[in-house]
Chain A
Amino acid sequence: MDQKTMSETKIETTVHGMMAEFTTVDSLLSACRRIRDAGYTKTDAYTPFPVHGIDKALGIKPTALPWICLIAGATGTCIALAMQIWMNSIDYKYIISGKPYLSLPAFIPVAFELTILLASFGAFFGMWALNGLPKFSNPMFTDPRFDRATDDRFFLYVDASDERYDANGVRNLLADTGSDYINEVVEDDSPKEVPKPVFLIWGLSVAASLVPLICILTMRVTNSSKPRFHIFFDMDFSPSKDAQQVTSLFADNRAMRSDVPGTVARGQMEESLDMLTGIDVEALTLSDPPRVERLVRAYMQADDEAKAEEKEAIEAEEKVAGEAAEAAPASVMDTTPWVAKNPLTVDAELLAQGQQQFAIYCSVCHGMDGYGNGLVNQRAQSINAPTWVPPASMHQETLYADKYPDGKLFSTISNGIRKMPGYAGQIKLKDRWAIVAYVRALQKSQNASLDLVPESEKAAVESAVAEVKAELKRQAEAAEKAAAARKQAQQ
């Protein structure tokens, strides 16, 4: 603007340009073409919706927006990759399910999302920036009919700064295009003051939004030794009571509670004392109360000292009994009232269990058949182990149920005898009783006659016996032959 127009603005309002109103898209488009062909470049159309073909009709150049978007998107990819690689592969390495520190496949999703995010920001903010928005004041808004530009009317505008601008010429040209409303666009002289309540509300909301920030900042700089704030208690204050405190929760006001009757605490026994020891405790109570007390201490209260004492006592008894047994078959010294009968129900299942356990733990010395010639015994005999005491045969009469009660057999398995250690630690309680049952069955089997076998299975047993006999015979013959061959070879 030159000096002359500057001075004119002081007297009258500035003219920004000329605009014309149209009612249809087609009339607007033809008007645009005419204005463009007339050589005007600083023109614009205002429409309630995007009119296609108007870029050409007005001579609008394509926008650089896609490039902004591309650059923003690429920036997003780079930021995402750099961030993830730096954070998880360089600065703070940690192994998660063996994945490599720098695992690009795992970084793709976040890279993708940030690419989209930044590209979208590029498109969104780039568009507003290129459009010069937000801009709340526009001289076009001064026109009373311009409100319809967002409703159903189309406006064509020629800016006064265009080189060819001449008010009358433009007005005539626009009138020629068929517009019935043409008006000069002038400076907006409406008051620019924002109503006071808006400031008030804005100020109040700013002040309110500062409150939490100030609270946090105050808490961060405080020197107090007390916790900064306790909105969430987490586990800082536990509601549990100490042992000697009082409480109103219970009638006796004691915080500390005694066991509920019938409670079995950890380490307390799970079976009856009879079953644990193999001793008829009721009978023992009559004859030897101190020993019952010791048993209770040993088994019920897991008193190791009492247990050791009891074991010693049994061992001493066994020793005496063992020596006596050589002299007289009946044990005169053994006064313990042993449980006479296996407390478990003896059935095929229990016997199978006992057989399995016997094979695992007992057969190494006592042999699979219980005759006392297990592999350990054979080895000890062959090397003439000096301290070896041969294991007992299960089939001697002194070990039969009438002379050696089940309880005593159980106690022997549990506590050991002579060279045999106690197996209470290795074999479970019920398994020990199962072994007892199996030993009884083993003993019975050696003296059983064929009439005891049920008729239906007799044939099977007989054939099995025949098979075994044939096998033994074959083996004996083979051994003989081998011996003969050896002899021949030696000669």
Chain B
Amino acid sequence: MSLAIPNGLDNTVERPGERAPLVLGETTYHDITEAVCKVAERPPSKGWIGGFLVAFALLQVLGLLIVYLIYTGVGVWGNRAPIFWGWPIVNFVFWVGIGHAGTLISAILFLFRQEWRTSINRAAEAMTIFAVACAGTFPGIHVGRAWLAFWLAPYPSLNLWMWPQFRSPLLWDVFAVSTYGTVSLLFWYMGMVPDLATFRDRSKNKYRRMAYGILCLGWSGSSRHWMRYEKAYAILAALAAPLVLSVHTIVSFDFAVSQVPGWHTTIFPPYFVAGAIFSGFAMVLTLMVPARKMLNLEKLITIRHLENMCKIILATGSIVGLAYGTEFFIAWYGQVPAEQFAFLNRAFGPYAWAYWTMVSCNVISPQIFWFKKARTTPWIIVVVSIFVNIGMWFERFVIVISSLSRDYLPSAWAYFTPTWVDWGMLIGSFGLFFTLFLLFCRTLPVINMAEVKATLAKQEHMAHLHGHGEEASEGH
């Protein structure tokens, strides 16, 4: 890929007093419909089929390993005393974090009236749902008897005669993640209904028309419907915004409420949330940069969209870096020997390799986005966002493993080594994620057509006004 942006596709130039166009070229409403619907309507490309086969094979790996795990027991994992919270929790926190960007783009950017979100929010929300599905897998099978995981639910059990323990952060997690998954799903689906109606109306095939007809609930585009719909969307956004912040906060409580040195810190909630947004945006970029190219959506997902996300990555990456520094400062300032040891051990102990991988990927690599050239060059963006994903996985690894492997008692120290099952499940979870994402690309609208059209209408309206203004000034 060359560094040059194709002519007419550069909307990253700042023109004071004028909004940069979010939809490029001589695009009409129908062009948007065509561009998005074609992704799902034309036969799958070779690239898609290849990618799907690979992802689906990895998904099978995950499935088989889960069967193996449940049949044999959790001993097939590398979780041993004292590291009982090993790899699966690392994966869980990693995937929950990935999910955050979707809802953040949809909800918080919506509330701030950031219209550049419109062409990326659908895919980002889909990513959220799939990431939460991946995340939910791990705690689900991490309980020793996975087939009894439903005991976590507060239902009147005739066998147990007891209730769950609501003072435990682990149970808060159950509520937080399931609420997050449910609300994200509602938000995603609701946002998709008008576009599904477009799919229905374009369907030539009877069954296809029926399937989309059922999915879009008989949406007709009535203005009375739109009015309530927009109200409901705004309410859901307002509800989802604190939800996003709460979910990772509660996930961080799992650690912060414990007494383990390196975990027992009040910085965890904001630090985890910032990290989650950071990793989520990195995953959105990892997916969107190749997808916009392959699906020919460059006019809708413009370089400006990518640039804006890079700026968010730069900001959150710096917050994460600040958090790393603050942890060391507080360890020194707090004068708790166990805490001080935990942080020195992180940076210079047996897991120093993981710590410095994390720092170089999370803190150093995004700093390249200070340069506009880097922010607007797709291949650099992809490389950095993959680094960030790796770094954020390692962040969770460092927190979970290094603190547990060396806490208060040197007699209870051990080094964690993952087994092949651990590796297989991590890779397999990517299979689950990408399988779902590729299916989504083929069957559902990858871009929120209705909102992009509304953005285009506004853009045209503004241009129209501007044009009038020019005419008026000419006249005088």
Binding site for B on A (CB under 8 A): 25, 44-51, 54-55, 58, 60, 63, 65-66, 69, 73, 83-84, 87-88, 91-92, 94, 96, 99, 103, 106-107, 109-110, 112-114, 116-117, 119-121, 123-124, 126-128, 130-131, 133-138, 140-141, 147-152, 155, 194-195, 198, 231-232, 234
Contacts and interface: CB of A to CB of B under 8 A. Distances in A.
Contacts of A137: 218
A124 B236 contact: yes
Nearest to A23: B29
B453 A124 contact: no
B222 A120 contact: no
B313 interface: no
B235 A140 contact: no
A260 to B, nearest CB: 26
Given A49-B457, A50-B450, A151 B198 contact: yes
A231 B145 CA distance: 12
A60 B454 CA distance: 20
B147 A231 contact: yes
Interface string B169-180: 101100110010
B230 A50 contact: yes
Q: Is the interface of B mostly helix, strand, loop or mixed?
A: helix
Given A66-B231, A117-B179, A231-B147, A54 B166 contact: no
Interface in B93-127: none
Contacts of A110: 166, 171-172, 175
B444 to A, nearest CB: 15
**Chain B, interface size: which category?**
35 or more
B220 A88 contact: no
Contacts of A96: 165, 167-168
A135 B217 CA distance: 6
A73 B236 CA distance: 12
B228 A151 contact: no
Interface stretch (B238-246, B299-307, B405-413): B238-246
B70 A116 contact: no
A48 B29 contact: yes
Interface of B: 28-30, 33, 70-71, 145, 147, 154, 162-169, 171-172, 175-176, 179, 182-183, 186-187, 190, 194, 197-198, 200-202, 206-207, 210, 213-214, 217-232, 235-236, 239-240, 242-243, 246, 250, 253, 449-451, 453-454, 457, 461
A148 B200 CA distance: 11
A83 B163 CA distance: 10
B232 A48 contact: no
Nearest to B71: A232
Contacts of A133: 217-219, 225
Nearest to A103: B167
B221 A60 contact: no
A65 B231 contact: yes
A55 B227 contact: yes
B223 A60 contact: yes
B210 A134 contact: no
The list of the 9 closest CB pairs from A to B, nearest first, reads: A152-B29, A127-B232, A134-B217, A87-B163, A147-B201, A109-B172, A106-B167, A150-B198, A45-B223
B218 A138 contact: yes
Contact of B239 (A83, A114, A116, A194): A116
Given A50-B229, A66-B231, A116 B183 contact: yes
Contact of B235 (A66, A87, A151): A66
Nearest to A129: B228
Given A50-B230, A65-B231, 9 more contacts: A47-B223, A49-B450, A87-B163, A92-B162, A96-B168, A124-B190, A127-B231, A134-B218, A150-B197
Contact of A109 (B221, B225, B253): B253
A73 to B, nearest CB: 8
A358 to B, nearest CB: 32
Contacts of A106: 166-167
Contacts of A117: 179, 182-183
Given A136-B214, A147-B201, A149-B220, A130 B228 contact: yes
B223 A46 contact: yes
A113 B179 contact: yes
A121 B182 CA distance: 9
Nearest to B203: A147
B471 to A, nearest CB: 16
A232 B220 contact: no
B239 A25 contact: no
Given A107-B166, A113-B175, A120-B186, A65 B225 contact: no
Nearest to A99: B167
Contacts of A194: 210
Nearest to A154: B221
Contacts of A63: 227-228, 231
B447 to A, nearest CB: 13
Contacts of B229: 50, 127, 131
Contacts of B175: 109-110, 113-114
Contacts of A73: 239
Contacts of B172: 109-110, 113
Contacts of A109: 169, 172, 175-176, 246, 250, 253
Contacts of B242: 112, 116
A87 B171 CA distance: 13
